[in-house]
Amino acid sequence: MNMKNVLLPVFYLPPISWFSVFLDPENEVILEQFENFPKQTYRNRANIYGANGKLSLIIPIHHNGKRKMKDIEVSESEDWRKLHWKSIKTAYQSSPYFEFYEDKFIRLFEEKEKYLLDFNLKGLEVIQQIFKTEKAQSLNKEYIKNPGEIDFREKFSAKIPLEFEVEEYYQTFSDKLGFIKDLSVLDLICNKGPESLTYLKNIKQLY
């Protein structure tokens, strides 16, 4: 197998397309921690399927003047963890698999990580536990503008068309509002459970 070095941004409960790249057995994953934190990206937001359609859960950032992703602190001025967990529970409690994974997900929102990077990495750990995967990854050592790795730092955006081909699957509210593609991997896990890994393996990259 020819391994490819891949540079991925570190997201909050990442979208499905991100996970298809992360878990690809041909990809040697390096995570970006030195980039300047870009606003309005999945680094501090996750999209879920609420009763009224797409719902963005946004982690508030403590503005301490630091710019590097690894130095970004989460704000404690509001109880966002409680709010996010309540939104997730409301959105997915009637999905087929939520109850099986609820205990694992709730732990993420009970811990007080100071830094966004640490919180996101903890989320990644929780999802790997659910998938029973042990995909190795490492953090980069410095910021490189044009890295030798395949660069995915700007590939996942709600603003540009998806560069992945994803199949529709049943979502809790899709009867009412239709299929919403590439939500947080949480949506896939709650609706497809043990079949999620197979689904991720079948996603095609369009480039």
Amino acid residing at 13: L
**45-50 and 53-58 as β-strands: parallel, antiparallel, unpaired?**
antiparallel
Q: What is the mean pLDDT of residues 30-42?
A: 94
Task: Confirm if 167 and 195 have CB atoms less than 8 A apart.
Answer: no
- The confidence score (pLDDT) of residue 64 equals 82
What residues have CB less than 8 Å from 60, skipping those under 6 apart? Answer: 44, 74, 75, 77, 78, 80
Nearest to 12 by CA among 54, 63, 47, 50: 47
Residue corresponding to tokens 């009224």: 52
Structure confidence at residue 159 (pLDDT)? 76
Let me know the angle formed at the C-alpha of 16 by 13 and 18, rounded to the nearest 5 degrees: 80
Mean pLDDT of 10-33: 95
DSSP 8-state assignment for residue 69: G
Length of the chain (residues): 207
| Whole-number pLDDT of residue 1 | 65
Residues 6+ apart with CB under 8 A from 128: 134, 135
pLDDT given for residue 149 in this prediction: 87
Which of the four pLDDT bands, split at 50, 70 and 90, describes residue 199? very high
Question: Would you give the distance in Å from CA 49 to the centre of its chain?
Answer: 14
Checking if the pLDDT of 161 tops 80, the result is no
Residue 165: CB atoms within 10 A of its CB come to 12
Q: Please, which pLDDT band fits residue 207 given cuts at 50, 70 and 90?
A: low
Asked whether residue 158 carries a pLDDT value surpassing 80, the answer given is: no
Q: Is the pLDDT assigned to residue 97 strictly greater than 90?
A: yes
Alpha carbon 170 to chain centroid, angstroms:
20
Tokens of 135: 């995909």
Per-residue pLDDT band for 162 (boundaries 50, 70, 90) equals: confident
pLDDT of residue 206: 67
At 174-192, the pLDDT tens digits run 999 999 999 999 999 999 9
- What digits encode the pLDDT tens for the residues 100-149? 999 999 999 998 899 999 999 999 999 999 999 999 999 999 898 888 88
